């Protein structure tokens, strides 16, 4: 009796293991597409997606505390790439390599003054005033 239950267990495990092999052989793009559809949009500990974070920062651009918001959302991911005149003297352009976004930050007032997609070393003077 023990041999029969062991054989049944091995047979079931084998069927489950090779079950999706025919699907992958005939249409591998179908498997990849279904995996992408099941994958949720990336959220972090704040519960926000990158797009939501950028939208919130864009809304609060120029307001006191937006720099703090930037640091919370992208802690450890920002790299300074340039300094340029603007804000209350000078602003620092911070690049987020992971998301390919550049933020222009005024440390005097702790505000974000500009946001652009891509690696921007110099914003237009009208954007960082």
pLDDT-flagged residues of the chain (< 50): 38-39
In the sheet where 111-117 sits, what is the strand order? 78-86, 89-96, 101-106, 111-117
**Cα separation of 50 and 107, whole Å?**
23
Q: How many CB atoms lie within 10 A of CB 67?
A: 22
Q: What is the pLDDT of residue 26?
A: 53
Residues 6+ apart with CB under 8 A from 90: 83, 84, 106
Per-residue pLDDT at 92: 95
Q: Which tens digit of pLDDT belongs to each residue from 32-69?
A: 555 555 445 566 666 889 899 999 999 999 998 899 99
Identify the pLDDT of residue 10. Answer: 60
**pLDDT for 48:** 85
Average pLDDT over the chain reads: 80
pLDDT value, residue 93: 96
Can you give the pLDDT at residue 18? 52
């Amino acid at each position: 009796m023990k041999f029969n239950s062991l054989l049944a267990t091995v047979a079931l495990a084998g069927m489950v293991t090779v079950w999706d092999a025919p699907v992958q052989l005939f249409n591998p793009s179908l498997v990849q597409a279904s995996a992408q559809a099941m994958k949720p949009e990336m959220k972090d500990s704040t519960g926000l997606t990158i797009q939501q974070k950028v939208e919130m920062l864009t809304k609060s651009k120029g307001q006191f505390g937006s720099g703090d918001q930037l640091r919370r959302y992208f802690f450890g991911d920002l790299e300074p790439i340039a300094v340029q005149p603007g804000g209350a003297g000078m602003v620092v352009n911070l690049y987020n390599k992971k998301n390919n976004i550049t933020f222009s930050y005024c440390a005097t007032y702790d505000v974000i003054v500009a946001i652009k997609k891509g690696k921007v070393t110099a914003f237009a003077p009208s954007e960082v005033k």
